[in-house]
Amino acid sequence: MNRKPMDSWVLPPSPPPRDHRRIHDLPPPSSLLPSPSSPACPSQRRPSTRITSPVLHRPDPMTPEAEKQARRRTCRFIEEAGQRSLRLPRVAVSTAAVFFHRFYARHAFQEHDRFEVAMACLLLAGKTEESPKKLEVVIRECWKLRRRAQQMQVQAQMQSRSMGGGGESPMAVASPGTMPSPTSTDGAQLDINSEEYSRLKERVLLLERIILHTIGFELSIDHPYKFLVDFVQEKKRMLEYSKQPSPSSRGTADGGQPPPPPPPLNKTAQYAQMVQELAQNAMNFANDSMHTSLCLQYTAREIALTCVYLSGKYSGIRPVGNRPWIELLDGITVEDLTTISIQILELVQPRKGMDSEMAFKMIRKDLDEMSAKTSDMPPDAKRLKTN
């Protein structure tokens, strides 16, 4: 998946946080505590913070669209800081994103600086996934990444003004005193003896405790990755390419003559290529889903099945005999498949550009046809039973 420029996840800093010194003394919300009647298998359990819309109804002045963008941009920050700067495993980065979404399902964005919350989520996720990072390292790397993005934003604003771009966008203007000087160097480091570092350290440690109480100390997170890999391995003999795959080109031979056609792939090689392509694209869609609030609305298995479906349609892979995909996706309704797919496509399609526009149109058409076929079915018949 193509990356967005770093300044795309820069929003104006939140107002100064309120005094939360006693928040960690409060009991966790009862709605987040595990229920005695919860199923024993975590993969079949709905998220404890399940919501029916991307944004909970909270006393928050942000519009739903602004909150959606804030979630996406901060999750890109978490991904950039976690994978590139802190070298955390992919699972730890995804866990940090889930912590972030769960936290802001219960708190308004105006209550806490979302980038400080992101630092605390990365710190906690590293411990949870047995890849701990020192607090000093987390703060220093996240501070450096955010500062670099802010500098790029300042330079873009200066160029816009020099070219007569008019007034500044309200989404791009930061509060006075929070933006670095445009003459600052990218190599600037946060002094661990400075007052700013001490403040960040206290805030991140406090936010870590607040996050723990907010999520009810529920640290075991199910991610789509394992489910989608298991599904692909289980169903690979029931899948085929809609068109015969062509091996990658080997370039031109000496003298500019095209090389002889490569031998066709044997059955084993074709299966291996198909499984790899299907799983890799499904992984990419699963990574993108972490930038949305889907983890609050659906189980990891439902998201995994949807990612496999999107990967199959995008890669030109179908069930043998041109059967509909829904016959292979055990345990998910057409309605849920459609809702999850649309939320992921809304995020991915603008980044993929014109090259993928036709593929995404075919996916939406297929979803519409499946929805039309099941619109008159009784509710019990819409969900395919899990074997």
Instruction: Give the DSSP letter string of 301-335.
Output: HHHHHHHHHHHHHHHTEEEGGG--GGGT-TT-BHH
| Cα distances (Å, whole numbers) of residue 142 to 9, 135, 148, 367, 373 | 13, 11, 10, 40, 49
For the chain, list the domains and their CATH numbers.
Answer: 6-31+48-214 (1.10.472.10), 224-246+265-382 (1.10.472.10)
User: What are the φ and ψ backbone dihedral angles of 44, each rounded to 5 degrees?
Assistant: -100, 5
Residue 39: per-residue pLDDT: 40
Task: Write the burial class of residue 186 (CB in 10 Å: 0-12 exposed, 13-18 middle, 19+ buried).
Answer: exposed
pLDDT given for residue 3 in this prediction: 47
pTM of the model: 0.73
pLDDT in tens, the chain (387 residues): 454 444 444 434 444 444 443 333 334 443 333 343 444 344 444 554 454 444 444 556 788 899 999 999 999 999 999 999 999 999 999 999 999 999 999 999 999 999 999 999 999 999 999 999 999 999 999 999 999 888 887 877 787 777 765 444 433 333 333 333 333 344 578 888 899 999 999 999 999 999 999 999 999 999 999 999 999 999 988 998 887 654 544 444 444 555 555 555 667 787 788 899 999 999 999 999 999 999 999 999 999 999 999 999 999 999 998 888 988 998 899 999 999 999 999 999 887 665 677 778 888 888 888 888 776 555 554 444 333
Contacts of 247 (CB under 8 A, 6+ apart): 262, 265
Residues 341/306, Cβ–Cβ less than 8 Å: yes
C-alpha 200/C-alpha 134 separation (Å) is: 14
Q: CA-CA distance, 156 to 154, in Å (whole number)?
A: 5
Distance separating alpha carbons of residues 130 and 190, to the nearest angstrom: 26
* pLDDT value for 257: 55
- Give ∠ CA 118-174-198 in degrees, rounded to 5: 50
The whole-number pLDDT of residue 150 equals 83
pLDDT computed for residue 185 by the predictor: 41
Residue 47 has what pLDDT?
A: 54
Contacts with 227 (C-beta within 8 Å, 6 or more apart), sequence order: 43, 300, 301, 304, 305
Burial 263-281 (b: 16+ CB within 10 A, else e): eebeeeebeeebbebbbeb
pLDDT for the residue numbered 38: 40
Cβ contact 60:108 at 8 Å: yes
